[in-house]
Structure 1
Amino acid sequence: MSATARHALIVGASRGLGLALTDEFLRRGWHVTATTRGTVLPGKERLTVESLDMTSPAELAGLAERLADRRLDLLFVNAAIDQGDLPITEVPTDMFTEVMITNALSPLRTLEALRGLVAPGGTVAVMSSEQGSIAGNTEPGYELYKASKAALNQLMRSYATRHADDGHTKLLIDPGHNRTRLGGPDAPLDPDETMPLVVDVLEAQAGADGLQFLDRYGKTVPW
């Protein structure tokens, strides 16, 4: 595909990192299909908005059907929730289930449902976090969120193994601690400054083999 025809599907673009990521791809001339859970995004050139609750297999199937004629250069899944800093012994079962479904199971279901839209040589990526690094888990706190991101990384490893020969670049991206609803108002990073770095990494890694876990500078994050 020519540079002017590049097309990204950003799953989870209502606000925060996903919205900033969408804006950066549009700024660079990409065509973007962005999914939201009912949020109305401002109309912009080269932007198509689709409604999606990625925890719903039926909605994923419906989106795949609606986009069946698209060929994507990038499929990026950005979605996560956090239910606060509770010790794991105080986490209710329903809270554990909700976080794991949203942060780990649903992103992989989304990749499986939509991967057929990705062109040969295209990229499949998921927003992860350094909080999912087992090697890097040396400070207390946010045990459930950390566990959900570690589970996401492990499931992505399984996905990459299962689809090792599909010709797609596969990436887990750690964007750093950003000022979003999830990251909180005191986070040190601004999404409008970090997402251009993330897009730099996505563009630079296009065509790379295997699965990589990278930060916003393209450096490897310890598993």
Structure 2
Amino acid sequence: MSNFKTALVAGASRGIGLGLVREYLSRGWTVVATERQPGASADLAALACDALRVEALDINEEASIASLAGRLSATSLDLLFVNAGVSDDPTTPIGEVTTEEFDRVMRTNALGPMRVIEQLSDRVRPNGTIAAMTSALGSISVEPAVSYELYGASKAALNRLLRGYAVRAGGDRAVLAIMPGWVKTDMGGDQAPLEVETSVRGIADAIEARAGSRGSCFIDYQNSVLPW
């Protein structure tokens, strides 16, 4: 990858988001990293350098998204990557999920990321990339698991909204739904087979390989196309 590129990683305080910040900094990019409360992540703070800018963003708050868009009005991006997301109790069937929990997961995993994309897409340069972290559990073409019903539904919603956005926006930016693999994070657990470093290296390589492409695509960290 060449230098003088800029990435925004929304949801960068830990796990894969933090790993993406490290990866892009190591590749010579300038990175704008967001966390809900600036300074809350000691690991992100430890990466402080001239190429890193940390901004506040709560993707569940419209005013927070609008404020970030205003602060980045003079910033051009080669990559806008929305990583934020939450899980729920994977054993709870949808009929037992509370309204509040349904709203929380859907808002954080689908509505919030799309609001960020809608507000910041005009900061992405022509031939740049817009990406969001999703999951294979969001594929409606694959037989669903008997767990993670709400989480899977939220990622399916995100996938559908990304595809719809790509059609509506048109233009010359790639819109990628990216599945990072089963990764050792707070969400993935210690039993996951992938290290964060392996996942984020693959994600960055896949994004680079698809730079300049058109429309939407659902891929994994190895750049394999997944069924919507």
What's the TM-score once normalised by structure 1's chain length? Answer: 0.96
Q: Are positions 1:15 and 2:14 aligned together?
A: yes
Which amino acid counterpart does residue 23 of structure 2 have in structure 1? E
**Inter-partner Cα distance in structure 2 for 1:17 and 1:177:** 11
Paired position in structure 2 for 1:106: 112
Give the letter for the 1:23 counterpart.
R
Gaps of 5+ in 2: none
CA distance in 1 between counterparts of 2:57 and 2:18 reads 15
What is the Cα deviation at residue 45 of structure 1? 3.7
Whether 2:93 is the aligned partner of 1:94: answer no
Distance 2:222 2:193 in 1: 16
Q: Distance in 1 between matches of 2:207 and 2:125?
A: 15
Q: Percent identity?
A: 45
| Mapped contact 2:137–2:144 kept (Cα < 8 A) | no
Spell out the pairing of 1:74-153 with structure 2 (5 A cutoff). 74-85=79-90, 86-153=92-159
Q: Which of 183, 187, 191 is the matching residue for 2:188?
A: 183
Find the aligned partners of 2:140 and 2:189 in 1 and give their Cα distance: 23
Counterpart position of 2:207: 202
Map residues 44-63 of structure 1 onto 2, 5 A cutoff.
44-63=49-68
Range with bigger deviation, 185-194 or 145-154: 185-194
Query: Separation in 2 of the partners of 1:199 and 1:99?
Result: 26
Query: C-alpha separation between the residues in 1 aligned to 2:218 and 2:144?
Result: 19
Q: Which moved more, 1:205-214 or 1:131-140?
A: 131-140
Give the superposition deviation at 1:209. Answer: 1.1
- Say if 2:66 and 2:119, in contact at 8 Å, map to a contact too: yes
Q: Could you say which residue in structure 2 is the equivalent of 1:30?
A: 29
CA deviation map 1:33-91 (0-9, x unaligned): 00011124221341110011011111111111111111100000001101111111111
Which among 155, 164, 168 is matched to residue 158 of structure 1?
164
- SS of 1:68's equivalent? coil
Q: Cα 1:138–1:57, aligned 2, differ >3 Å: closer, same or farther?
A: closer
Deviations 1:12-34 (A, max 9, x none): 00000100011000000000000
**How many equivalent pairs are there?**
221
TM-score, scaled to structure 2: 0.94
Report if the CA contact (8 A) 1:160-1:211 is conserved: yes
Q: Does the CA-based 8 Å contact 1:131-1:137 persist in structure 2?
A: no
Aligned structure 1 segments of 4 or more residues deviating by more than 3 angstroms = none
- Pick the aligned partner of 1:64 from 61, 69, 74: 69
- CA 138–58 in structure 1, closer or farther in 2 if over 3 Å, else same: closer
Deviation of the 1:134 alpha carbon: 1.1
